Amino acid sequence: MTSPVLDKKFYPMLAALADHKNFLKGKETVCTTLVVERDGGYNHLYSLDVTAEESEFSYRIAERIAKTMLWVCGGFRIGVHGAGWLLKRLQADYSPSGARAFDADFMAGVYERPFEVVELGSIPPEKRASVQVGGHLEGCRIGFDAGGSDRKVSAVIDGVPVYSEEVVWSPKTETDPHYHYREILTAMRTAASKMPRVDCIGVSSAGVYINNKIMVASLFLKVDKKVYGDYVKNMYINIAADMGVPVEVANDGDVTALAGSMELGEGRVLGIAMGTSEAAGYINSAGGLNGWLSELAFAPVDFREDAMRDEWSGDSGVGCKYFSQDAVIKLAEYGGLTFREGTPAQKLKIVQALAEQGDPLALQIFDDIGVYLAHTLPFYALFYDIRHVLLLGRVMSGRGGDAVLAACRRVLQSDYPNFRATIDTPDEKSRRVGQSVAAASLCALK
């Protein structure tokens, strides 16, 4: 197995699954089916063998799969059909005092109902959805992309961007929701001033959105939950009303995938944006959304127990620490690079500047991220039908992004020759503002 040079302890999920399969040889096993259910009765199933008697290795594998399903598909319930001991362990971990309390509380907030882990008497049929989204280009549109380090806005007329800007901001540290409102409205009005009129607004934003409402979003992490419902949940709806136009809001990962699908002219596209965190989205073979969360920032990537910990979820080895500016900083520090005080975005720029100069350590950092990605994409393919992977975001800018792409392709060819998806990036301008342009196409005009 090809290992990252700066992080040789990296233990890919697929390697762990292979090791677990060997671990089961000669042991009594139970085929167990995990079912994640969300609104409308939609669900996703995954079956695996675990030991008949409780074992830590089987539990960790099953729990990592359950967690991946939860953050890929979303849901308010995990059903277990099979090993009774596994059911009890999952119930304990996904309880309010358990190791996965964050995950349970997050999902309860998204679906506005208590989260639970239950025993299933039988395996239900799988029920999936496909929702058409975006691709509307006519008229005068505003596309807004709310990132954790910068906000991007585009003015688009009949599918052609006539103006785009990128402004640094700090939403994750702001406690005042009025700050967010002012910043977003300012961006919208700036774009509006570049067109004869505004027909609609499309928003690409990190988080979970239902009916254009902000259910959960890291951008508003510091806003007091007591005022969240009053000021945050309907923020994009209120801003659109202030401007007198309709709005459509989508997760930034889904807009990443939409941008790729529009560019390629086909579906089965997994879009991954590497910026403040890892954002992901998926356009299926029918050109629509599955209705999944695709919050891969919280999905397991590294199976080892002492992997880097995510401060928000409290879990370790998850995507936000492997495909983001945090990954760049982590690997830089592993390589001995010392930063002066600065924001993560500023530290990323330092490493990117070194990469542009051909610095060996800086280029190795991005090479290692490409190795991470090559080992992770085939794991994602257990849940998504992938034909194309499109990589965007600040981390993918410049020479560093080229190194990520080259390393990923190299390792996929050597270690996973049966993985046939294409791995690409858009041109430099589209890497930075492509999501805001694609966001402009979200809203269908009546």
Tell me how crowded residue 335 is: count the other CB atoms within 10 A of its CB.
Answer: 17
Cβ atoms 376, 270 nearer than 8 A? no
Let me know if residue 152 belongs to a domain. Answer: yes
Does position 432 have pLDDT exceeding 70, yes or no? no
Number of domains in the chain: 3
pLDDT of residue 162: 94
pLDDT of residue 430 exceeding 80, the answer is no
Q: Alpha-carbon distance 211 to 316, whole Å?
A: 32
- Same domain for 200 and 280, yes or no, is no
Q: Of the residues 247, 269, 300, which one is the last residue of a structural domain?
A: 247
pLDDT at 441 over 70: yes
* Average pLDDT score over residue span 356-382: 98
For residue 226, the domain's CATH number is 3.30.420.40
Q: What is the mean pLDDT of residues 316-342?
A: 95
Q: What is the pLDDT of residue 428?
A: 56
Residue 172 — pLDDT band, cuts 50, 70, 90? confident
Residue 307 shares a structural domain with residue 382 = yes
Verify that 275 and 424 share a domain, yes or no: yes
Q: Is the pLDDT of residue 389 over 60?
A: yes
Q: Which region among 144-148, 198-202, 259-263 has the lowest average model confidence (pLDDT)?
A: 259-263
Q: Tell me: do 157 and 104 sit in the same domain.
A: no
Q: Is residue 326 part of a domain?
A: yes
Domain closes at, from 247, 269, 302: 247
Q: Output the pLDDT for position 231.
A: 83
Rg (alpha carbons) of the chain, rounded to whole number = 21
Number of other residues whose CB lies within 10 A of the CB of residue 427: 9
Quickly tell me which residue has 């999952």 as its tokens.
90
Residue 54 neighbours by CB distance under 10 Å: 14
The whole model's pTM is what?
0.86
Residue 230 above 90 pLDDT? no
Domain carrying residue 104: 13-119
pLDDT (average), residues 268-279: 90
* Helix, strand and coil percent figures for the chain, each rounded to 5: 40, 20, 35
Question: Three-state DSSP class for 163?
Answer: strand
In whole angstroms, what separates CA 47 from the centre of its chain? 24
Count the Cβ atoms, other than its own, within 10 Å of residue 19: 14
Amino acid letter for position 302: D
CA 405, CA 271: separation in Å to the nearest integer?
14
Classify each residue of 399-423 as buried b or exposed e, where b means 16 or more C-beta atoms within 10 Å of its C-beta.
Answer: bbbbbbbebbbebbeebbeeeebeb
Average pLDDT (233-237) is: 93
- If we measure between CA atoms, which residue out of 61, 73, 67 comes closest to residue 15? 61
Burial status of residue 56 (CB atoms within 10 A of its CB: 0-12, 13-18, 19 or more): exposed
Q: What is the pLDDT at residue 224?
A: 86
Mean pLDDT of the chain: 92
Strands 388-392 vs 269-274: parallel, antiparallel or unpaired: parallel
Same domain, 308 and 423: yes
